[in-house]
């Protein structure tokens, strides 16, 4: 069966929180067909480095709303991909990035950071209810969840997040004509071969069936 192996990452925050891309990312993504970055780069140089591993597509993050960091204003807020008949949406947080920042502010004030993914998935599901896969970042919390026929994947943050005790992570997405599945890989673990020794998220989600999709262009971008 034909399939695509895709590396997912988000919130690299280079150089503001991380000096450089960890070598583990290159090892984990070795051999992937495509890399999707779900925003908050912060410097666009990381895209060139990822591009040496595989073709890379990225979206803007909320961090880019705050001057003086205007390194990636050219990046779209949302990218739609059509891969083996699967509609894959790549975004950083919510389609309205300012609302996404406000949502996080209230979550932090109320001490409910752990619920951010839940709140964001609920809103993303309303915006992208026809998508087969939605990839997002922003919360720095890695998670794979299946909701009403849509696979939601937050690969976590590549940079460390000591405030919320989140482990640096990326994800691997496998797309087939029959559906998609995702796996979380934590960067603080030694992984000799990421494809054979991958750590699955406790909420590993699999699509066994998907409705047929018409032939669309491979990619459609939506600027914010």
Identify whether the C-beta of residue 176 lies closer than 8 Å to the C-beta of residue 1. yes
pLDDT at 164: 65
pLDDT at 104: 66
Pick the closest to residue 93 from 84, 81, 104 (CA basis). 104
Q: Do the strands 169-176 and 3-9 form a parallel or antiparallel pair, or are they unpaired?
A: antiparallel
pLDDT at 5: 98
pLDDT at 28: 96
Instruction: Name the E strands within 76-122.
Output: 78-83, 86-91
pLDDT at 167: 87
Identify whether the C-beta of residue 172 lies closer than 8 Å to the C-beta of residue 6. yes
pLDDT at 95: 62
d(CA 81, CA 181): 16
pLDDT at 207: 31
For the chain, residues with pLDDT lower than 70 are 1, 63-73, 94-104, 106-114, 162-164, 190-224
d(CA 88, CA 27): 24
pLDDT at 139: 86
11, 49, 68, 189, 211 from 59: Cα distances, Å: 11, 16, 19, 27, 27
d(CA 38, CA 52): 18
Identify whether the C-beta of residue 212 lies closer than 8 Å to the C-beta of residue 48. no
What's the pTM value of the predicted model, to 2 decimals?
Answer: 0.80
pLDDT at 193: 41
Structural domains in the chain? Answer: 3-209 (3.60.21.10)
Q: State the DSSP code for 168.
A: P
């Amino acid at each position: 069966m034909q399939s695509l192996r895709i590396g997912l990452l988000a919130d690299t925050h280079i150089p503001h929180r991380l000096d450089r891309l960890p070598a583990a990312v290159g090892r984990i993504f070795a051999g992937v067909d495509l890399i999707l970055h779900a925003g908050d780069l912060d410097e666009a140089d990381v895209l060139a480095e990822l591009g040496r591993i595989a073709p890379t597509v990225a979206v803007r993050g909320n961090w880019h709303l705050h001057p003086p960091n205007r390194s990636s204003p050219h990046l779209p807020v949302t990218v739609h991909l059509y891969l083996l008949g699967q509609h894959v949406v790549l975004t950083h947080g919510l389609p309205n990035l300012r609302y996404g920042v406000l949502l996080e502010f209230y979550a932090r004030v109320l001490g409910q950071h752990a619920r951010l993914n839940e709140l964001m998935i609920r809103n993303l599901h309303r915006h992208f209810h026809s998508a087969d896969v939605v990839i997002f970042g922003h919360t720095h919390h890695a998670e794979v969840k299946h909701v009403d026929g849509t696979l939601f994947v937050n690969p976590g943050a590549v940079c460390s997040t000591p405030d919320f005790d989140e482990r640096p992570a990326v994800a691997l997405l496998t797309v087939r004509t029959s559906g998609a599945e995702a796996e979380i890989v934590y960067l603080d673990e030694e992984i000799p071969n990421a494809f054979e020794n991958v750590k699955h998220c406790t909420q590993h989600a699999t699509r066994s069936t998907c409705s047929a999709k018409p032939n669309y262009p491979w990619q459609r971008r939506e600027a914010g």
